[in-house]
Amino acid sequence: MTPRPVLYTFRRCPYAMRARWAVQVSALDVELREITLRAKPAAMLVASPKGTVPVLVLPGGQVIDESLDVMRWALAQHDPEGWLTPAQGTLAEMLALIEACERDFKPHLDRYKYPARYRAEWGGAPDAGDSDPLARAFAAQHFDVAQGFLSLLAVRLEGGAAPRYLFGTRPALADFAIAPFVRQFARHDAARFAQQTAPALSQWLGALLARPDFEAVMARQAVWADTGAR
């Protein structure tokens, strides 16, 4: 039997989510191994000692452990929907917007959703939790800052011919690489997101998350048992 690429993943992680999305659309035969972050399998840590998902291990032993690189690897094999060739703009422009998401949005998403993890930044007591008034104020501040990046996305989505995506009238790499993070932001307080976010952005996110391939990407998998197989 020909060995298959192996993708270590964690269902709720947005980085792993976008990697699985590209693998799903590419229709490649990849073995998905769902892990638990509390007990990371030894095989994954041998392949990538940094211990974060996703981790793709190719049959020849090559390891790809950055989510965007996993996406690009899968789409380089088979890109049936043209994710790497947007209707408007270039791959380089998409990569620049994805980088901006990780630089200008993700840190504020984390602080908005998990303020207690950053209590040193807001001066909380060692046992202070997310409901602490200082934590809530800190989270609100980062919600507001994160809106700056979301506003940039909304500008790209407003006007022009419908449907609208970040680089034209069909979704491409940037949409699928960024949407899992916006989804995480939106789900933390759905009412607040709906009230303070441009309708065009909500519609964009809803259209992507309604795709059948996203439903497949989010299907629950049993946690992989590390029995020594590689």
Q: Examine residue 121 and state whether it is found in any structural domain, yes or no.
A: yes
Overall number of domains in the chain: 2
Question: Final residue of a domain: which of 58, 81, 104?
Answer: 81
Residues 110 and 205 in one domain: yes
pLDDT level of residue 168 (50, 70, 90 thresholds):
very high
Return the CATH number at 192: 1.20.1050.10
Share the mean pLDDT of the chain: 95
Answer yes or no: is pLDDT of 171 > 90.
Answer: yes
What per-residue confidence (pLDDT) applies to 160? 72
Residues 103 and 203 in one domain: yes
Task: Report in angstroms the alpha-carbon separations of 82 from 96, 99, 169, 174, 216.
Answer: 18, 20, 12, 12, 19
The number of C-alpha atoms within 13 Å of 82 and in the hemisphere containing its C-beta is 11
Q: Stretch 162-168: mean pLDDT, rounded?
A: 91
Boundaries of domain holding 45: 6-81
